[in-house]
Amino acid sequence: MGQYHYLVNLDKREFINPHRLAVGLKACEQLGSFPSTPQALFVLLVCSNGRGGGDLTETRGFGERIIGRWAGDRIAVVGDYAENYDIKAPLHDPVSAIYDLCYEGRYREISALVRPVLAAELGVEYVAEPRVFRNADGSEERYESWRIRCAEEAELSVLDG
């Protein structure tokens, strides 16, 4: 199956779930997709936004600061196979438990806060598609799967070299 990864703020106990950005959880899926977690990380880390031309436009659909939200914090890409010795710095939680804590909702998932900024800046639209998973016992689990739709007029100048 391979290792799955979340982008995690170790100080704020927040994380990005790549599935909520229409991307797979494996490292190569995140690095090889656009837009993806690298762009989300840039949005979260930019610390001097709004002071000149070409800066990002703050999209406040949820009333919270998004751009620069993680500037100055300790950030890691944490996988479900992480071991406690992978990060040497003292943390609130054991490194080996962080992925599961995120999955269980003990860390705050902020992908929905980042999506509007990525959509506005990159000219894409995130589309939620309802899914139903049928278990062997006949029960059903409902969830949303995300995909990206590019606007026909979108200027993706970052790809133009």
pLDDT of 10 above 90: yes
> CA-to-CA distance for 66 and 117, rounded, in angstroms?
8
Amino acid 161: pLDDT? 43
* Model confidence pLDDT, tens digit, residues 66-123: 899 999 999 999 999 999 999 999 999 999 999 999 999 999 999 999 999 999 888 8
Tell me the DSSP string of 38-71.
HHHHHHHH--STTSSTTPPPP--TTSS--TTTTT
Amino acid 148: pLDDT? 85
Amino acid 45: pLDDT? 96
Of 70, 72, 76, 73, whose CA–CA distance to 96 is shortest?
76
Q: Where are the domains of the chain?
A: 5-122
Amino acid 87: pLDDT? 95
Amino acid 158: pLDDT? 46
pLDDT band for position 15 (50/70/90)? very high
Amino acid 107: pLDDT? 98
Amino acid 151: pLDDT? 67
Coil vs helix vs strand at 76: strand
pTM for this one?
A: 0.83
Q: What average pLDDT does the segment 121-130 reach?
A: 88
Tell me the DSSP string of 91-148.
-SS-HHHHHHHHHTTSSEE-HHHHHHHHHHHHTEEEEEEEEEEE-TTS-EEEEEEEEE
